[in-house]
């Protein structure tokens, strides 16, 4: 029995998922319905498919904060987010990897998320999952500077 494998009923009604444990549920999100409902895959096979469907990182799109802020204010916001994020769920190691990736250049960030087994749902890293299905949402301000950042000078 696979994580998201299915067994058709004898009377011809649609198949039913056999196991919806968190990692398998997450993996099902990344697979097409034909792959999920028509296969007898195991978790490791589905994890490989989810990783394959994980998005490649891209530079975040420009964005504007609700009000102009200084670099010091932005830094304070980022520090507060990273200090409190692990308390809302997920693994500390994944949060640490996400922080390192958010603060790195694009090629290194890609290497970090790949090495940590992070599944990137949004290519700008605003939505990621770990292999166990925990969801990690990152605000734009930890990934890039707003266009209305007040510059000294």
- Summarised one tens digit per residue, pLDDT across range 37-72 is 444 455 555 555 555 567 899 999 999 999 999 999
Which pLDDT score is estimated for 44? 55
The token pair that represents 15 in the structure block:
């198949």
Angle at 47 between CA 95 and CA 3, to 5 degrees: 115
Domains in the chain, CATH or no CATH each: 6-53 (no CATH), 71-142 (1.20.225.20)
The answer to whether 135 touches 127, Cβ cutoff 8 Å, is: yes
Asked whether the whole model's pTM tops 0.95, one would answer no
The 3-state DSSP class for residue 36 equals: helix
The token pair that represents 24 in the structure block:
């398998």
How far is Cα 48 from Cα 43, in angstroms, rounded to an integer? 9
């Amino acid at each position: 029995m696979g994580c998201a494998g299915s067994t058709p009923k004898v009377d011809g009604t649609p198949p039913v998922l056999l196991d919806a444990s968190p990692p398998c549920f997450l993996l099902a999100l990344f697979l097409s319905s034909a792959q999920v409902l028509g296969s007898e895959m195991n978790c490791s096979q589905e994890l490989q498919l989810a990783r394959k469907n994980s998005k490649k990182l891209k530079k975040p799109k420009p964005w504007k904060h609700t009000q102009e802020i200084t670099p010091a204010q932005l830094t304070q916001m980022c520090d507060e987010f990273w200090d409190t994020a692990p308390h809302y769920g997920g693994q500390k190691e994944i949060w640490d990897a996400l922080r390192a990736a958010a603060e790195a250049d694009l090629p290194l960030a890609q290497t970090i998320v790949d090495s940590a087994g992070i599944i990137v749902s949004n290519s700008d890293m605003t939505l990621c999952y770990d292999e166990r299905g925990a969801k990690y949402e990152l605000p734009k301000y930890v990934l890039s500077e707003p266009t209305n950042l007040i510059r000294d000078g």
